[in-house]
Structure 1
Amino acid sequence: MSDTEDPEENLSKKHKKERKDLQAQIQKLKHSVPKGDKKKKKEVMEQIAKLEHDLDEQQEAESQKLKAATADVSNAAERLGGLDMNDAESISTSSVGSASAAYVQEEKKISKAQKRRNKKLAKDREREEEIKQQDIQNLSGARHIELLKVKEALKSQNLQIFDIKSDGNCLYNAVNHQLEKIGKGSSNEALRNQVAKYMKENKDEFLPFLTKDNGDMFTEDDFEKYCQDTAHTTAWGGQLEVRALSQTLKQPIRVVQSEGPSVHVGEEFDGQPSIVVCYLRHAFGLGEHYNSVEDYIQDDDEEFS
């Protein structure tokens, strides 16, 4: 027999290493899922299923290709029966013991079109792998870390995030969700009008804290436009609007955030039910976002088995 290593054994070793690497990647993904985060858990499970499916398909294709090459060599060896025994044995031993050489020879016969398809497939797989690795890296990014901290802070208060759509109205939608829980539901339009009216009537409380993008202070006209935008557009609301909402609703508002203690606004109304929202600085590509909260619900399947 030739000293060439058995191609089937080589392929088996390669497949085992790929399986081991995949299991390590899967464990890392599983451990990244926060307890009770059903949405994230579902996303990770789908990602894991795709990783396993892709590897199964890849390894099956490689196995079938090697089997076909080995079968071609075996057929060639059988056709040597009419030769002298010594010649046949020499040729057969050389051929069967070098299935990998036949495998390479088969590769040479592949058409140019097939080569182009294979090249594209390789690039697609490379791109998919880059995306998978980026997904894993994102788990340690600012957005993910901030979300984990907010969830832990809420859980300690027996609360969890209630997702609010990111459309510029997130603060008002979050506050309205809280108001509905105590039977005082309103609307974006009503809340925005209340905020704009209160800010205009109490200009000295707000104007000094407003600046333009270049750092210049707001003029009277700038402030008037700001109030108009607050009332009639989907302009994002922040800390100033939280203060105005607390004053117009005459209710305390508590803002849970990832860093530091919660921010309390309207403490003079502490006798009234508190409105609780959570603030995320890195929630979306556009930046800051407000969500509402709800009572914490224990997930019986919080951890992976």
Structure 2
Amino acid sequence: MAKAFASQGDMTEKKISFTEVGEGLYAFTAEGDPNSGVIIGDDSVMIIEAQATPRLANKVIDCVRSVTDKPISHVVLTHYHAVRVLGASAFDANQVIMSDMARGMVAERGQEDWDSEFQRFPRLFEGHESIPGLTWPTTTFNDKMTVYLGNRRVDLMHLGRAHTAGDIVAHVPDQNVMFTGDIVEYHSACYCGDGYFGEWGATLDKIKAYGVDAIAPGRGDALVGQEMVNAAIENTRDFVDSTYAAAARVAARGGSLKDAWNAVREACDPKFADYAIYEHCLPFNVARAYDEARGIAHPRIWTDKRDVEMWEDLQS
């Protein structure tokens, strides 16, 4: 490899924040590292996103225990990516919930994704030896599922494809708060390597139509207040659209992946270069945008071998 992925050298410890985004609702954030969410019900707790390892999941549990001693009954995983799901065993929940599509993607590409992500971003897998294996849901659904934590209602919904084919969101109506996973980010690059550029915007529109008062995004700070929520949604849209448009222009004239890389850098660096994990995401984003623009409708499976081959092509 000509040089390491940007993320392989990112070993800086991130500061954890635990922010209340509604009554009994919290966002666990860490300066652009993967976020988790906490929903406290009458008798038990639901966790949104499990972190990459049980050791990292215990940091979420420590924050939960600072505000409640209620048992953790549910873990909701918004999609299949390793950094979101492999810590689920630490919560010892009664139910682990995914969309039907996300479960299918665990079966199709879960191990490949784990191997790929571990190679790319080793810091996010602190305590990786504690991972018992792939995380499988106990419960799945297609379009919508409602969970009651006592009287507290949580609506789990697949609103459309965006970050992956199987993305879901969690909406808590009594506080009008949403946990969006990686469909929405805040001052953090979107990872689009398994995404659907042409559909992401429509999914953002469906989220925006809820007019929520707060969002716990996939990465970045908690979004409190409709002004901050809408700004983050539109910023995410701009990131996705800018990436795709630049790559699509190159693909339309028969240019190479390296040409697309240069074009996306020219379009996106001035606006997004200071975002968390920007350099990490960029090669995968360009590769997927270039594929989609050339008619490859569904994201190809990333493997540790494919990662290296793509990166060497871009560095040549």
Q: Shared fold by TM > 0.5?
A: no
Larger helix percent: 1
TM-score, normalization by structure 2:
0.21
Larger strand percent: 2
Greater gyration radius: 1
TM-score, normalization by structure 1:
0.22
